[in-house]
Amino acid sequence: MRSQSCNGEGMYEVSENNMTQDVDSYFKSAFHQIRSAPGLIIPSLISSALSSAVGWAIILTVLVLSLPLLAEVAPIVEQNQDLISEIIGEEHLEDDIDPKIEELVEEFSGLVPVMIALFIMFLIVLCVIWIIYFALYAWVYAGTIGYLWQGITTTTDFRNFLYYAKKYSFRIMGLWILVYIFSIVLFLVPFFILVFVPSPANIAIFVLSIILCIILWLVVMVLLFFAEECIVIEGMGVIGSVKRSKDIVNGNIGSVLIFILILIVAFIAFFVTEGIFEVIALLFNSSLTPFFMLFIIVILVPWIQLSKLNFFLDRTGVEVKEMDKEIEIIKTVREFIARSPYILIDFIRKNKVYLLAALSVYGIGVGIGYYMGHSFSFLSEETMMVLSEGWGEQRWLGPYISMPLIDTIYYFSNNIGVSMNLGLSGIFLGVPTIAGGIVNAAIIGMFYGIVPAETATAFIAVHGIPECMALVIATAAGIKLGVKIMGSPENGAEALMETLEVVLATSLLLCIAAFLEAFVTPIVISLMF
């Protein structure tokens, strides 16, 4: 390990006298750190929750903005249902053949101004969501580096995440904005060449300049490899972090390139493996994508983050503490599953107000979804026909249209991801949790609005009871986290650990729900059809 000293200007100088670790040792250390301190994966879970929050916000925006159009569009579709079906079925139907088509076009044309206004509103909201996401992602990234740094050198206290997120998020944003401006300006140059250089030379120069710009951009990105770490760990400004990262990379260029190469190989190996298993699952009319997404969030991302951090700390002479012995995962999981019912019961008993708030959120979502679905309830017969024909044609093993065991993994992985995102997104003041609850409930309400209640119940009720219980509890935990995080960091840190424990405990309910959805629900549906 190299030694580190601080000069009079606050800049860190690294002694080259001591030996540094091999590049592959950083990846090995990262895996050991995760096995020894699973709490190090928390920042990755929060980052995933933020990404889901953006998706929920966009979907909720679409739902809300589409409500004014439903009262206008639904009657037109109902009155011209046969004509619309004919138009969809005919590939070469000309508008002037039937006067009814002209009338239909005129009716929809009257809605164009409203649709344009709503689309403009959607674009404005989308820009606002993107700006908020950019700021929050910088906040999460700064907190992630600070939390992981303290976690492998001192202690895994979540207050460190909140402290470093608040202190350095604006500098991280400044760095990223600088990178975006540089990238935009750099890649605009070839297009200016294409416009201002006379033909035919402009084409050749344009292609050459694109290649040169890509090479230059990659070089700059490599030189900025440690810029964020310099900001958070060494407390530097934006320009200082750029210079510092450049110096570290220049002094360790071979190791940096080997590190990046190992990352590329790891990604290729992972996605090839995922592709093989996904093809196998598709052969059985199923999917394993949610399982691999969960693996990325829980294992792959924290492993990469810690490996890079180990690299930076070693090359700047910062000591990393010796981790305790690795946790026995099987034993720990078994003990936690045994405690899960008591964790859920205790949370329900002590948090009735938050549970009522979560139920209210789901009630609003079901109401919105039912209103939207009921507006097109005249399509119920067609929907039932599609469902019955599709179910009958795809069945290949008794009542099943796919392999139940693979489906169990699919449903569980997908739902535990949703549960974690609902709970942990509460760290963003609870707003994404509420949005996510409304969106998930709206899907159920929409289904009940379109098809008959007995059909919707057959599709949902068997597995839906434990699944909805789990999601409502996760939503309640997220709302509580949002309320607590508005207070002191101490309350926020304590509430986050409680939320994480409750969300993981819901996996017991979600496992039951996944089994029922894969093995029992298809039997109920097949009996109905």
Q: Could you read off the pLDDT of 43-88 as tens digits, one per residue?
A: 999 999 999 999 999 999 999 998 888 878 877 776 766 666 655 5
Residue 21 has pLDDT above 60, yes or no: yes
Distance between CA atoms of residues 344 and 355, nearest Å? 12
Contact 368, 438 (CB under 8 A): yes
Q: What integer pLDDT is reported at residue 4 of this predicted model?
A: 42
Query: For residues 525 and 27, which has the higher predicted lDDT (pLDDT)?
Result: 27
- The whole-chain average pLDDT of the chain stands at 87
**Nearest of 467, 407, 410 to residue 440 by alpha carbon:** 467
Q: Identify the residue with better confidence: 381 or 36.
A: 36
pLDDT above 70 (res 123): yes
Residue 396 pLDDT greater than 90, yes or no: no
Instruction: Of 7-21, 188-202, 255-269, give the range with the top mean pLDDT.
Output: 255-269
Q: What would the mean pLDDT of 125-137 be, rounded to a whole number? A: 96
pLDDT value of residue 10: 38
Look at residue 441 and tell me whether its pLDDT is greater than 50: yes
pLDDT of residue 397: 66
- The pLDDT assigned to 5 comes to 39
- Asked if pLDDT for residue 390 goes beyond 70, the answer is no
Neighbours of 1 (CB within 10 A): 14
b/e code 147-185 from CB counts within 10 Å (16+ = b): bbbbbbeeebebbbbbbbbeebbebbbbbbeebeeeeee
Per the model's pLDDT, the better-predicted residue between 124 and 204 turns out to be 124
Instruction: Give the residue carrying structure tokens 């402009």.
Output: 202
Paired strand residues for 6: 12
Whether residue 226 is predicted with pLDDT greater than 60 in this model: the reply is yes
Q: Identity (one letter) of the amino acid at 19?
A: M
Task: Report CA-CA distances (Å) from 25 to 14, 30, 144, 307, 311.
Answer: 20, 8, 21, 9, 9
Per-residue pLDDT tens digits for 297-325: 999 999 999 999 999 999 998 888 888 78
Instruction: Return the number of other C-beta atoms located less than 10 Å from residue 269's C-beta.
Output: 10
pLDDT per residue as tens digits for the range 455-481: 888 889 899 999 999 999 999 999 999
Hey, what are 407's tokens? 């489906």
What is the reported pLDDT for 71? 79
Query: For the whole model, what pTM was predicted?
Result: 0.89
